[in-house]
């Protein structure tokens, strides 16, 4: 659904494909396929942009491990109350099979650390949501 009058350059297409690969590795095929199936003429360019920049440019940088990036995303989404994104990344971190995920114990420590900086109400919500996801994935 890319704008036919301004198609992506080969470079932006390559960045998109690389970003899509990282997005799949981090979030899983099921989530990415569902997200891509909901593209519309209105949101396609946004989806392409975040795939190129967030997933290709940022998640591929060499300065931090993928696990550290996961922890940062959990911290920020918890602190900002971005619960849909928080749940997505909790689930992805617990289900990762590439050694970059988090154990339940590590997740608990991330949430406890953030309780001090994000506050008790955010932590209460985060623990409740994380527990529901733990029950689901361990279930």
All structural domains of the chain with their residue ranges: 10-58, 66-138
State the residue for tokens 């309780």.
115
**Alpha-carbon Rg of the chain, whole angstroms?**
16
Give yes or no for residue 122 having a pLDDT over 60. Answer: yes
Predicted confidence (pLDDT) per residue in 25-38, tens digit: 999 999 999 999 99
- What per-residue confidence (pLDDT) applies to 1? 53
How far is it, in rounded angstroms, from Cα 113 to Cα 78?
Answer: 11
Its pTM stands at 0.86
* Pairwise CA distance, residues 1 & 93, whole Å: 30
Write the CB contacts of 97 (distance below 8 Å, at least 6 apart in sequence): none
**Token digits of residue 100:** 């970059």
On the question of pLDDT at 64 being above 60, the answer is: yes
């Amino acid at each position: 659904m890319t704008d036919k009058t301004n198609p992506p350059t080969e470079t932006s297409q390559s960045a998109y494909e690389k970003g899509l690969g990282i997005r799949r590795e981090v979030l899983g095929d099921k989530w990415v396929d569902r997200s891509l199936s909901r593209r519309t003429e209105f949101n396609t360019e946004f989806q392409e942009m975040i795939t190129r920049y967030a997933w290709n440019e940022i998640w591929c940088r060499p300065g931090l491990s993928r696990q550290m990036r996961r922890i940062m995303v959990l911290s920020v989404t918890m602190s900002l109350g971005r619960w849909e994104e928080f749940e997505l990344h909790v689930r992805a971190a617990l289900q990762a099979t590439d050694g970059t995920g988090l154990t339940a114990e590590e997740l608990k420590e991330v949430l406890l650390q953030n309780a001090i900086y994000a506050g008790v109400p955010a932590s209460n919500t985060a623990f409740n949501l994380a527990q529901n996801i733990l029950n689901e994935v361990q279930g």
